[in-house]
Amino acid sequence: MKDFKVIEVKRSIFEDNNADADKLRAELKSEGTFLLNLMSSPGAGKTTTLKRTISMLKDEMKIGVMEADIDSDVDAQAISETGVRAIQIHTGGMCHLDADMTRQGIREFGTKDLDFVVLENVGNLVCPAEFDTGSTKNAMILSVPEGDDKPLKYPLMFSICDVVLINKCDTLSVFDDFSKEAVKERILKLNPDAKIFFVSAKTGEGFDEWADWIRTEISEYQK
């Protein structure tokens, strides 16, 4: 008989992380810094979406971006070209960020003078959903080419997100089997409170509504 229980060990790790995440969230709240944890599959358009979002908001608020990847600094370089503060976090092979890793990034990055910080998490739909980063809100991007069945395959990710951006809507004429109605129904069945925006980072479709959501959330948060 084994003398250890995997489930108990795993639960302990999650409980420790959740407590750390709550502490980090309180620290950020005291500074008035809104932290958005942005998740997606690789290639869904996180960085392109961020660049367009930044261009719409950078004259209204102070923005910073923390880019998390297993390796490389390609995304941080792309974001730094927008003129906002950017830092690259290498996860050392880990497929996600947890609260302590996020805090380490924040210490190096410095957020006290920032209104809006985006944590671009490691690209996948499994691990990042399992670990609370201490963010104010969670958002994810699902791109049209990935298919409208992803909420069925990765329910946890869609359950924990406050916002879902359906990106690359300019490709709907090509991926004509993607149903906007079906994906919306599947997301809301898992998460009735989720905000869903149909967008295109390429054309700008839907970005006014997305930017307005950010403005409203930060305004309420900083009261």
| 134 part of a folded domain | yes
Residue with tokens 């869609």: 158
| 1 part of a folded domain | no
Cα–Cα distances in Å, from 164 out to 137, 160, 161?
11, 10, 7
| 6 part of a folded domain | no
The model's pLDDT over 102-120, given as tens digits with 9 standing for 90+, comes to 998 888 888 889 999 999 9
Angle in degrees, 0-180, between the axes of helices 46-57 and 207-221, rounded to the nearest 10 = 70
The model's pLDDT over 60-87, given as tens digits with 9 standing for 90+, comes to 999 999 888 766 677 788 888 899 998 8
| Cβ-count burial 83-111 (b if 16+ within 10 Å, e if not) | ebbbbbbebeeeebbbbbbbbebbeebeb
Query: In 3D, which of 50, 217, 64, 29 has the Cα closest to residue 123?
Result: 50
The model's pLDDT over 2-55, given as tens digits with 9 standing for 90+, comes to 444 333 334 456 778 999 999 999 999 999 999 999 999 999 999 999 999 999
A 10 A CB-CB count for 152 gives 14
Residue 115, domain CATH: 3.40.50.300
Residue 88 has a pLDDT of 85
Residue 29 has a pLDDT of 97
Residue 9 has a pLDDT of 35
| 39 part of a folded domain | yes
Q: What is the DSSP letter of 41?
A: -
Report the C-alpha gap between 223 and 221 in whole angstroms. Answer: 6
Query: In 3D, which of 30, 50, 37, 23 has the Cα closest to residue 221?
Result: 30
| 7 part of a folded domain | no
Residue 1 reports pLDDT greater than 70: no
Rounded mean pLDDT of 162-190?
98
pLDDT band at 145 (very low <50, low <70, confident <90, very high): very high
Sign, CA dihedral 93-99-104-106, equals positive
| 121 part of a folded domain | yes
Report the C-alpha gap between 176 and 139 in whole angstroms. Answer: 25
Q: What is the mean pLDDT of the chain?
A: 91
Number of structural domains (the chain) is: 1
Rounded mean pLDDT of 191-198?
98
Domain housing 201: 13-222
Q: Which residues pair with 116 in a beta bridge?
A: 34, 63
CA torsion angle 22 25 31 33 (round to 10): 180
Rounded mean pLDDT of 132-151?
98
Residue with tokens 């409208």: 148
Rounded mean pLDDT of 159-174?
98
Residue 150 reports pLDDT greater than 70: yes
| 5 part of a folded domain | no
| 197 part of a folded domain | yes
Is this prediction's pTM over 0.85?
Answer: yes
